A and B are shown apart, each in its own frame.
Chain A
């Protein structure tokens, strides 16, 4: 207020006003100041209130509920009333072959998705960049982005239909080439290739958008001077485009590693069956079966806590590394 230029009033008046402001600024306690501020800006707080309440009720209250991971939870006693039992659930979990198998499967499936899934969108973006025919490019992009918007239930339905032993196209083709029909979805050794392949098929196109945006930011002068030097398109792709988008690639890689544990378990729930649990069951599907289907809430919550803490550490580490590397952190 006092720093604003005043259009009216004498010097004396200004001094009085200033003195009053100064007094008012010094006198009131912190609480009173906040009170005044809220009184003036109450509308802003009213706008914020629903969101904050929602977060407290639907996301922070469950965090309080996580304590059942250390309790012998019973529905009748509730979260607060159930007795503490320390780390018993964690001991049970780490002695449970199914849980250990779920951890192993989570790591393996994430690893495959990373190795095979990460390069695909980069390759696609580089390929799109080399297309000169605009209509072809636009049409192809429209089509490869599409699977991203289709629900996992439908994708699973398509996979189940296509791999079906009686009518599926995959087995039909296999038989053309003299192979024998395989009931793919009951075979543990086929689960991971099918799951990882489906994920790549669904997301690679859409994920290429980020890299296309990075490529669009590469300075045209680099290409112009390369053309003058007689570089081929292949050389320009390797020597200019790829190095220019390397920072984006590295940041995406860090994000990806940070989200390692986020295997799309919705899709696994749709595609797996007891016959393939051996290779398909991940931590989140284990939690779903034990907790929501089996009613062992406390044990499943302990598994979930373990998962969330590891994921949190991964994300935070990823952010720190990316901060150091690029000086622009992810958030």
Chain B
């Protein structure tokens, strides 16, 4: 298979065409990011005139200065970190022990508990009852509400439970002999053996927390509590309709477009930093997640 000499001329042609098409697709995936990055470093005038194609035109960092001088940008960035870190830790605190208990054969009513978890993946009450429930619980406009309200996810529990089930019983026997209780067995045997699966679940949580905007937009009214994505939406989606505002933001140095682009760049950077881990573990996760009840 790997020996190029075995290929006929037709094959070589095929392989080259294939590479060219793939390269085109890859470029189309990458180009929008390059375009946005270049836009963010161009002058407002050039951006407005539609002169930015590939590289920055009239290089300037004024748009970044404008973005970074905005207090709301910083507070929403800080909030996103709170929601992401707090939410992920909260999720793991629920999911790890829960998945472990569900993986134990001696658990009474195991089928029922598992079904109770799985059912939430097939049926959910929908936006309105969930929203009213959060309101009735007094969790509107609260950091805690956002962190606790999305802590558990059936898919993640089942993914981790399946992984725990795949660990041979023999691993825990030594610990059992030493009289370890369930908590000790989980913490000292199962958690260390499941690091890749736990990392996968943690990364699922981190990405969905970092990127989540819909419920934060619905549940948080207080500007000081909104995360970055809600702030982003406010600036780049809502204000883009407002031509008048867009014009007031326009100076020679930056324009609405370059400021939007600069905010986009600032919010993508953390995802890019953890991207090597994401790629590694998501690859595994998507395959581990061939979920079985």
A292 CA to B214 CA, complexed, in Å = 12
Contacts of B157 in A (CB 8 A): 51
Contacts of A79 in B (CB 8 A): 132
A154 CA to B235 CA, complexed, in Å = 11
Q: Mark A136-178, 1 if CB is under 8 A from B, else 0.
A: 1001101111110111111011101110101111011001000
Question: Is the C-beta of B198 less than 8 angstroms from some C-beta in chain A?
Answer: no
What are 5 A-B interface contacts by the 8 Å CB criterion?
A54-B152, A131-B15, A154-B268, A201-B28, A210-B287
Contacts of B1 in A (CB 8 A): 220, 223-224, 227
* CB atoms of A57 and B125 under 8 A apart: no
The answer to whether A205 and B29 touch (CB under 8 A), given A142-B279, A300-B127, is yes
Question: Is the C-beta of B264 less than 8 angstroms from some C-beta in chain A?
Answer: yes
A210 CA to B100 CA, complexed, in Å = 27
* CB atoms of A161 and B181 under 8 A apart: no
Question: Is the C-beta of B131 less than 8 angstroms from some C-beta in chain A?
Answer: yes
Question: Is the C-beta of A87 less than 8 angstroms from some C-beta in chain B?
Answer: no
* CB atoms of B149 and A210 under 8 A apart: no
Min CB–CB distance A77 → chain B (angstroms): 13
Most chain B CB within a 10 A radius of its CB, from A142, A161, A307: A161
**Besides A57-B137, A146-B33, A150-B211, 5 new A-B residue pairs in contact (Cβ under 8 A), listed by A number:** A62-B126, A220-B1, A232-B8, A233-B15, A234-B10
Chain B residues 114-140 with CB under 8 Å of chain A are 116-118, 120, 122-133, 136-137
* CB atoms of A37 and B108 under 8 A apart: yes
Interface residues of B, dominant DSSP:
helix
The answer to whether A43 and B182 touch (CB under 8 A), given A143-B29, A232-B10, is yes
* CB atoms of A130 and B18 under 8 A apart: yes
Q: Mark A69-104, 1 if CB is under 8 A from B, else 0.
A: 000000000110000000000000000000000000
Contacts of B257 in A (CB 8 A): 161, 164, 167
* CB atoms of B126 and A43 under 8 A apart: no
* CB atoms of B126 and A307 under 8 A apart: yes
Contacts of B252 in A (CB 8 A): none
Question: Is the C-beta of A9 less than 8 angstroms from some C-beta in chain B?
Answer: no
Q: Mark A45-78, 1 if CB is under 8 A from B, else 0.
A: 1011011101101110111011010000000001
| Chain A to chain B: the 7 pairs with minimum beta-carbon distance, closest first | A304-B126, A51-B98, A151-B211, A47-B97, A62-B129, A62-B125, A48-B101
Contacts of B282 in A (CB 8 A): 145, 206
Contacts of A140 in B (CB 8 A): 22-23, 25-26
Contacts of B69 in A (CB 8 A): none
* CB atoms of B100 and A47 under 8 A apart: yes
The answer to whether A315 and B10 touch (CB under 8 A), given A149-B278, A209-B283, is no
A66 CA to B130 CA, complexed, in Å = 9
* CB atoms of B122 and A315 under 8 A apart: yes
Chain A residues 23-53 with CB under 8 Å of chain B are 34, 37-38, 41, 43-45, 47-48, 50-52
Interface residues of A, dominant DSSP:
helix
Question: Is the C-beta of B14 less than 8 angstroms from some C-beta in chain A?
Answer: yes
The answer to whether A44 and B104 touch (CB under 8 A), given A51-B95, A59-B125, A308-B126, is yes
* CB atoms of A157 and B236 under 8 A apart: yes
Which residues of A are in contact with B by a Cβ distance under 8 Å? 34, 37-38, 41, 43-45, 47-48, 50-52, 54-55, 57-59, 61-63, 65-66, 68, 78-79, 124, 127-128, 130-133, 136, 139-140, 142-147, 149-154, 156-158, 160-162, 164, 166-169, 171-172, 175, 201, 205-206, 209-210, 213, 220, 223-224, 227, 232-234, 266, 269-270, 273, 284, 287-288, 291-292, 297, 300-301, 304-305, 307-308, 311-312, 315-316, 329-331
Which residues of B are in contact with A by a Cβ distance under 8 Å? 1-2, 4, 6-8, 10-11, 14-15, 18-19, 21-23, 25-26, 28-30, 32-33, 35-36, 39, 47-50, 52-53, 93-95, 97-98, 100-102, 104, 106-108, 113, 116-118, 120, 122-133, 136-137, 148-149, 151-152, 157, 181-183, 186, 207, 210-214, 218, 229, 232-233, 236-237, 240-241, 255, 257, 260-261, 263-264, 267-268, 271, 275, 278-279, 282-283, 286-287, 291-293
* CB atoms of A54 and B151 under 8 A apart: yes
Most chain B CB within a 10 A radius of its CB, from A131, A144, A153: A153
Contacts of A206 in B (CB 8 A): 282, 286
* CB atoms of A308 and B35 under 8 A apart: no
Most chain A CB within a 10 A radius of its CB, from B6, B104, B125, B186: B125
* CB atoms of A157 and B232 under 8 A apart: yes
Contacts of B11 in A (CB 8 A): 232-234
* CB atoms of A151 and B229 under 8 A apart: yes
* CB atoms of A287 and B126 under 8 A apart: yes
CB-contact partner of A54 in B6, B28, B94, B118, under 8 A: B94
* CB atoms of B32 and A158 under 8 A apart: yes
* CB atoms of A34 and B233 under 8 A apart: no
Contacts of B6 in A (CB 8 A): 227
Min CB–CB distance A190 → chain B (angstroms): 16
